[in-house]
Structures are given as C-alpha cells and as structure tokens.
Structure 1
Amino acid sequence: MGFYDLSKSERTQLADTIYKEISEAVSNSQLNGIRHYFSDEDTYIRKTAYLSIGKLYKITEKTQTEILEILDILLKSDNPKVRQTTINAAGEIGMQNFEVVRHFFDVGLFDNHHSVRNAVIGSLKKMGARNPVPTLKWAKGYLEHQEKEIRREICHGIELRGRTHPQDVLPLLKKLQHDETSRVRNTLIHVLGQIAYKKGCLETVVGTLKSWDNIELVKLALDEIVDVHHRYKNFAFLSQQQAITYINQNFN
C-alpha cells in the first residue's frame, strides 16, 4: 500500500514513525535503517525520509557530522533511488548551509542515472529559493560547462529563484543566449517564460532582454512569455493582453 493510499491520520503516523526510526538510525550509525527508506519504491516514502534528514540536521546540531558522513556513504550506493534520495536530503541541508553539501551536487550532476540528476535540479531550485547567494555562485561555475546536459540542468535548476527575484538569475541566463544546443536553448526560453508572469517580474525580464544581442532567441522568449500568460492565466499577475501591450510599448 502506497503512502497516499493511507488516510491522513495514517500518513501522519507513518511519517512520525519514519522520522523516529531515521533519528535512531543516525544516532546509532545504522545505515540500513536509513537505506531501507531511501530505497523504497514509493516516492512519498522516500520524500518523507529525506525531509526527516533535513529536520534532524536542523534541530540536532550534535548529529550533523554523523548525518553528513552517512550521506557520503549512501551517495556511493549502487541503487539509484538511494543516490536520488541522498541528493534530495543534501538539498534540504543546503537550504540552511550550502557549503557543507556542495560536493554532493558536484557528484550528482554527473550521475549516470537521470533520476539522480533530476534530484540535483530539484534541490537546486529549493536551495536557490531559500539560500540563493552560495547556490547561485555554485551554479554559475557550471553554466559554460562543455557538457550540454550540465548547462541545461543548471539553467532549469535556477528557475525557482527567478520566479520571485528574476534580477538574480538573469545575468546567469544571459551566458546561455548563444548556446547552440537546442535542448539548452529550449530550456532557456522555457525558464525566461517561467520567471516573467509574477507581479513585477515581466518588467524586469523585458527590460533585461532589451540588452541581449541574440535577437532571434529574444523573439522566441517574448513569444513564450506571452504564451505563459495564457497557460498560467489563473496565476499570472497580468492578463495575456496586458502582457502583449506592455511588451509592444516597451520593446522594439
């Protein structure tokens, strides 16, 4: 039975049990007690496990070293689910202290399994939103990496910070405007659309795009921004027509 096959009260009880057992496993350096949950087939069991690690790290200072040592071992697991959950756990810690988990993402970016690399993207999103300065500094170092998939993953990963603070990520995104790889270029256009529909963001994105010199890409990005204001019309600050009007009035 999966996590969400349970009633709300049963889910709460299970989450409490997972937290308690992981806490005991950390205290006793029992990797199997953590590996058991990190390898579970149910995504939400694994999520509860990595959230438990993040909570333990935050509230139990005396076990922080032990937690990091355990995660270092689990990152070497042959099971991609364990490595994926380890990266997600590192992301929870990175929202508080990025430097102590930086090496997890240096490794995870190059993992041979897509789920682990996707965990890097997801972690980058939440760390960028909550702990942006060191996270974005780290991301910047990979934006011109020779491997196209690394550039694409970093581009995607900084999106969430851009939704509330587009000015923080636009200088990084600008480095990709002449990228010749279609997957990177398409992700860049997607991200520009995603960071332009919240209150005050359209103005910042459009104002910045005026300084970019890849006119073809900018046109595609503006089309995506207009389309996003329709696709996300229930969440966008402006209507699609208001977005069109603003772009026409402020962009030549």
Structure 2
Amino acid sequence: MAFYDLNKQERLNVVAEISNNMLIELGTADLKNTIQYFSDEDTYIRKSAYLSLGKIYLAKPILRPKIISSLEKLLPSTDYKIRQTVINAAGEIGKTYFESVQHFFDRGLFDEHHSPRNAVIGSIKKMGEVNPVPVLGWARLYLQHEDKEIRREICHGIELRGRKYPGDILPLLQELQHDKTARVRNTLVHVIGQIAYKKGCIQTVVEHLKQWENKQLVTAALEEIIDVHDRYKDFAVLTQEQARQYIEDNF
C-alpha cells in the first residue's frame, strides 16, 4: 500500500518505524533496512527516510560520523534512487552542517542519472535558503565549469535564496551573463524573473542589472520580469503594468 493510501496515524507509525529501524542500524554494520527505504519505489517512503536521517544527525551528535560513513557507503550504489536519497539526506544535514556533506554534492553534480543531479539542485535550494554563506561559496566554484549542465544546475539551484534575498545571488548570476550556451542563458533569465516579484525585490534586481555588460541578456531579463508579474499575479506585489512602469522609470 502506498504511503498516502494510509491514514494520518498510519503514516505517523510508518515514519516512526523507519526512523527507529535506521537508528538501530547505525549501531551495526548492517544497512539492510536503510537500503530498503532509500530504494523504495514510493517517493514518500524515501523522503521519510532522508528526513528522519537528517533529524537523527541533529539530535544525536555521537552518531554523526556513523551517519556520514553510512551515506558514503550507499552513494556508489548502482540504484539511482539510493544515490538520489543519499543526496537528499546530505541536503538535510547541509542546512546546518554543510561542510560535513559538501563532498556528496561534488560527486552528485556529475551523476550519470538525472534524479541524483536534480536532488543536488533541490538540496542547494533548501540549504541555500537557510545556510547561504558556505552553500553559495561552494556554488560559485562551479559557475565557470566547462560542463554547461553544471553551470545551469548551479544557476537553478541558487534561485530559492534569491527569492527573499536577491542581493545574495545577483553577483553570482552576473558571472553567467556572457555564457555561450543558450540553455544556460535561458535558465539565467528565468531565475532573474523568479527573484524579482516579491516585496522589495524588483528594486534590487533592476538596480543590479544596470551594472551588467550584456545588454541583450539584460533586455531579455527585464522582459521576463514583466512577464513574471503576470504569470504570478496572485503572488506578485506589483501588477504587471506597475512592474513595466517601474522598469521604464528606473532603467
């Protein structure tokens, strides 16, 4: 039976069982249950497992080395779901202790399967939102990587921090303004739009874009900002017309 076919109490019982079984296994060399949870076809079982492991890491400092070593044992798995869940678990830990799990993202960025790579993007988002200094510092190392997909994934990953604090990521985005790959530039324009529609953000974004040299990309970004204010009109502070007028008055 799928996780969300269960009622609320049954789901709570399943989560408690997952957490307890993984906690027991951390005291042994046997990761049988953990492997089962990390490879489960039900995404919510896998999610319950990596969330539980993140909570154990925070609550029980004595087990932290064992948790890291267990994740390191699972990362080379041939099952992409296990690798994906390892990255997500590292992401939970990295929201507080990024330096302890940085090496998982250094490897996950280059995974042959898109699911672990997407887990890296998701983890950068959730870690960068609450632990920005080390996460953004790490992300910057890959902004000029020779692989266009790495550059694109990093650009996408830092977006969430920018939705509240656009000034934190705009200098990083600026480094991509002359990227020769259309897919990277399109992601860059998309991210600029995404960080411009919340309260106080359009002012920061527009002011920063004045410093950029690639005027063609800046024009595309300004058009995206105006368009986003229509697509997200239920969440945007300004109407589309107000956003257009602000740009005309200030750029």
TM-score range, shorter chain: over 0.9
Structure 2 unaligned residues grouped into runs of 5+:
none
Pairs aligned (count)? 251
Secondary structure in structure 1 of the residue aligned to 2:112: coil
Alignment of 1:59-138 (within 5 A): 59-138=59-138
Q: Displacement of 1:30 after TM fit?
A: 2.1
- Three-state SS of the structure 1 residue aligned to 2:26 is helix
- Give the deviation of 1:15 after TM superposition: 1.3
In the alignment, residue 160 of structure 2 is paired with which amino acid?
A: L
What is the CA-CA distance between 1:230 and the residue it aligns to? 1.0
Deviations along 1:32-65, whole A, 9 cap, x unmatched?
1211100000111101100001000000011000
Which string of whole-angstrom CA distances, capped at 9 and with x for unpartnered residues, describes residues 158-181 of structure 1? 000000110010000000001110
SS in structure 1 at match of 2:16 = helix
1:112 counterpart SS class? coil
Q: Is 2:240 the counterpart of 1:240?
A: yes
* Counterpart check, 1:172 vs 2:175: no
| 1:29 to partner: Cα distance | 3.3
Write out the 4+ residue segments of structure 1 that deviate beyond 4 Å after TM superposition. Answer: none
More deviation in 129-138 or 24-33?
A: 24-33
The C-alpha deviation readout for 1:207-236, integer Å capped at 9, x for no partner, is: 001111111111111111111111111111
Report the RMSD for the aligned CA atoms in angstroms: 0.8
State the 1:241 CA deviation.
1.4
* 2:175 partner letter: K
Counterpart in 2 of 1:213? 213
How much has 1:73 moved relative to structure 2?
Answer: 0.5
Q: Residue deviations 1:172-208, cap 9 Å, x none? A: 0000001110110111011001111111111000000
SS in 2 for 1:27: coil
Q: Verify the 8 A CA contact 1:83 1:116 in the aligned structure 2.
A: yes
Q: Is the 8 A contact 1:50 1:86 kept in 2?
A: yes
Contact 1:29 1:66 in 2 (8 A): no
Structure 2 CA distance for aligned equivalents of residues 39 and 74 of structure 1: 10
In structure 2, C-alpha distance between the alignment counterparts of 1:27 and 1:227, rounded to whole Å: 54
Q: 1:120-159 alignment to 2 at 5 Å?
A: 120-159=120-159
Q: CA separation in 2, counterparts of 1:120 and 1:83?
A: 11
**Residue of structure 2 equivalent to 1:249:** 249
How far off its partner does 1:17 sit?
A: 1.4
- Find the aligned partners of 1:170 and 1:103 in 2 and give their Cα distance: 25
- Return the alpha-carbon distance in structure 1 between the equivalents of residues 15 and 168 of structure 2: 36
- CA positional deviation for 1:8: 1.8
Q: Percent identity?
A: 61
The residue type paired with residue 223 of structure 1 is E
Cα distance in 1, alignment partners of residues 56 and 130 from structure 2 = 18
CA positional deviation for 1:27:
2.4
* Residue identity matched to 1:196: A
Aligned partner of 1:34 in structure 2 is 34
Show CA shifts across 1:45-96 (max 9, x none): 1011000010000000110000000000100111100000000000000001
How many Å separate the matches in 2 of 1:10 and 1:103? 36
Q: CA deviation at 1:31?
A: 1.2
- Which whole-Å CA distance do the structure 2 matches of 1:113 and 1:153 have between them? 14
Corresponding position of 2:231: 231
Moved more, 2-11 or 194-203: 2-11
How far apart, in 2, do the equivalents of 1:9 and 1:187 lie? 41
Distance 1:96 1:30 in 2: 27
**Taking structure 1 as the reference length, what is the TM-score of the superposition?**
0.98
Q: Who is 1:16 aligned against?
A: 16
Extract unaligned runs of 5+ from structure 1.
none
